[in-house]
Structure 1
């Protein structure tokens, strides 16, 4: 994954009021931490950060006063209505360092006829080199029949990556698609019982 360069500024103001002023200036408050170092509070350019974080686990090169450090977004807070980024926690990483992250799963293909595809997990936890994280992992369901299952161990992981979950964790379950047969049968049975009830009522009236 290519690095995305962002120029940051250190900040000394904190609290909700300071955060609002930063956002009004089209910037994003953030904190940079990791490797036992003291957290560094910074601001990032708003538009560039929004574009960079459209990609899951984007590798960022954060430039502070001419010194660059690699980081991964660990937690991103967004406005629930506007979708704008309100705050970012960034984890410092080094080249060659292994990290554990959640990677989005992309299901593609078409399962067999009369099947229902149930995606049990939309992400998968893997351990991989920080500078070689995949944006997504493709899961093919092409032609799979009812009763088929895709487990974590069946995923095609990038070279050098290992699972961060149990191998038997269920990812996709292919079942039989629901049909209208059962409801119709129930209606037919109800209809068949109605005349019997009517006959019973008629007999009661005659007696």
Structure 2
């Protein structure tokens, strides 16, 4: 089981957003910017504009838990990408919430789980948990956690507590959370039997409907 760590920093030059509201946000997006709010550590929320293309590239490379090094009009600030909003149709970045972080600080984040490898022949692998919550140092957040099912037999279950985490990270999710389940794959006969059972269940209903019509 391996893991992949995000880069320690992603530099973005941003500007302070003085105009707020939906109209100002729409204008910013038309100009290739992503409206964002930076908050945390007792600081007053700052309204910022991020360069959309550069920010999108960071997210593609480092994932949604990217730690940014912001140049805010000459002032450097580390920030964790807390949430992002994406347009449901156009799929462009609409808004972002950023959390102020400091070197050495630990943060709690949701990390995606990737399953890799092939289990034994005749098995079916189901993934029951797509993410796990962990606590990690802000500059060492993994992009994702990888779980290998290579060669696993039917009946094998992998829980959150057995997923390997990066050094210094702690699992926050319930360690008994089922992540991956390896079961015996259904045979053609099993599927046919299930289909036959459904047809048999429908027959009495159809007969009852016919009897009701005759009455």
Could you state the TM-score of these two structures normalised by the residue count of structure 1? 0.87
Measure, in 2, the Cα distance between the counterparts of 1:156 and 1:74. Answer: 23
Unaligned runs of 5+ in 2: 1-6, 200-215
Aligned match for 1:149, one of 145, 148, 157: 157
1:12 aligns with 2:18: yes
Question: What's the offset of the Cα at 1:48?
Answer: 0.4
Residue deviations 1:29-83, cap 9 Å, x none? 0000000111000101111011112222111001112111000111100111222
Aligned match for 1:131, one of 128, 132, 139: 139
Say which SS state the counterpart of residue 22 (structure 1) adopts: helix
Measure, in 2, the Cα distance between the counterparts of 1:60 and 1:185. Answer: 55
Say which SS state the counterpart of residue 142 (structure 2) adopts: coil
Could you state the TM-score of these two structures normalised by the residue count of structure 2? 0.84
Unaligned runs of 5+ in 1: 191-207
Measure, in 2, the Cα distance between the counterparts of 1:80 and 1:117. Answer: 30
1:167 aligns with 2:175: yes
- Give 1:1-207 correspondences, 5 Å limit: 1-54=7-60, 55-56=62-63, 57-184=65-192
From the CA coordinates, give the structure whose radius of gyration is larger. Answer: 1
Measure, in 2, the Cα distance between the counterparts of 1:83 and 1:5. Answer: 23
Compare relative contact order (CA 8 Å, sep 6+) and give the higher one, 1 or 2. 2
Residue equivalent to 2:211: none
Question: What's the offset of the Cα at 1:2?
Answer: 2.6
Residue deviations 1:84-114, cap 9 Å, x none? 1010000010000010001111111001111
Say which SS state the counterpart of residue 135 (structure 1) adopts: strand
